[in-house]
């Protein structure tokens, strides 16, 4: 069997496994939704005004709806580089903040997966409307966040660490790194000091394959998500003006602290 056929078959198997996992997750939520609906109908005869039960039903229904959309988009992406679980968390935030009217540039969702080492491409821009990945690139983490792997995160000024969570992109400006993009942290106590800390998207020459070849990792920023010099202007043009950016890592208790999940 030729190498290209082996790769294609390997990708097919991974894609099929992803599809099975996504379908199974949606199926399980469907069972819970059906169960809750049955309980609601059973109890409605004795207590037709049980608002708490109705509220629980609506939460389950909305969660099932969000997961179904996320499953559909992720399936169309045809990727094994972006984890489905990370994408699902990002899409939950996208749905929540769009529903709240905060997102104006709704076409794209940017995801940084800090579970991946810096020597791998872990920056993704997903076209939500066309269901495709527009960019997949390298991105640096903070100087005090870790060496190869991002492990420590902070919202404090002068910590030189990355912050996790959801951000809203805002205006561009020209600084010492050239074209840069300001970010506003949307999660209190997690990343809401982004403006004070001057956490922005910018380029840096230490974000390159040459740097990785010499050092086995990317260089590190003072907490900013720094991108490769080549092509970063196009990235900023895509995601500027109030689109959503999600920075994730499982190496923290972020998921327990965030109010989004």
Q: Which is higher by pLDDT, 10 or 90? A: 90
- What is the CATH class of 83-261? mainly beta
pLDDT, tens digit, 9 for 90 and up, residues 33-81: 555 555 555 555 555 545 655 666 576 678 889 999 999 999 999 999 9
What CA–CA distance (Å, rounded) separates 120 from 216?
10
- The per-residue pLDDT for 3 is 33
> Domain coordinates of the chain in residue numbers?
1-80, 83-261
pLDDT, tens digit (0-9, with 9 covering 90-100), for 200-212? 999 999 999 999 9
What's the distance, Cα to Cα, between the start and end of the chain in Å? 45
- Residue 125, number of CB atoms within 10 A of its CB: 21
In this prediction, residue 261 carries a pLDDT of 81
Chain-centre distance of CA 221, in angstroms? 20
The pLDDT of residue 10 is 37
Question: Which region among 11-25, 104-118, 198-212, 241-255 has the lowest average model confidence (pLDDT)?
Answer: 11-25
**Pair of tokens at residue 229:** 């010099």
To the nearest 10°, report the CA torsion of 233, 242, 192, 217.
-30
DSSP assignment of 56-84 equals: HHHHHHHHHHHHHHHHHHHHHH--SSS-H
pTM for this predicted structure: 0.82
- pLDDT, residue 63, reads 85
């Amino acid at each position: 069997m030729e190498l290209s056929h082996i790769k294609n078959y390997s990708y097919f198997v991974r894609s099929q496994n992803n599809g099975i996992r996504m379908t199974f997750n949606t199926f399980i939520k469907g069972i819970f939704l059906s169960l809750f609906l049955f309980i609601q109908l059973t109890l409605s005869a004795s207590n037709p005004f049980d608002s708490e039960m109705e509220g629980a039903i609506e939460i389950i229904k909305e969660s099932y709806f969000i997961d179904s959309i996320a499953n559909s988009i992720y399936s169309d992406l045809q990727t094994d580089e972006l984890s489905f679980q990370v994408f699902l968390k990002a899409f939950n935030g996208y749905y929540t903040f769009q529903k709240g009217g905060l997102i104006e540039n709704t076409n794209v969702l940017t995801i940084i997966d800090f579970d991946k080492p810096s020597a791998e491409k872990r920056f993704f821009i997903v076209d939500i409307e066309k269901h495709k990945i527009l960019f997949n690139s390298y991105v640096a983490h903070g100087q005090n966040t870790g060496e190869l792997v991002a492990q420590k995160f902070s919202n404090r000024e002068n910590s030189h660490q990355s912050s996790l969570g959801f951000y809203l992109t805002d205006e561009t400006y020209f600084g010492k790194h050239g074209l840069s993009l300001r970010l506003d942290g949307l999660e209190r106590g997690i990343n809401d000091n982004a403006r004070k800390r001057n956490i922005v998207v910018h380029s840096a020459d230490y974000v390159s394959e040459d740097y990785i070849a010499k050092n086995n990792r990317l260089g590190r920023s003072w907490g900013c998500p720094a991108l490769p010099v080549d092509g970063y202007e196009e990235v900023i043009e895509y995601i500027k003006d109030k689109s959503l950016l999600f920075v994730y890592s499982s190496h923290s208790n972020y998921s327990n602290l965030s109010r989004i999940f």
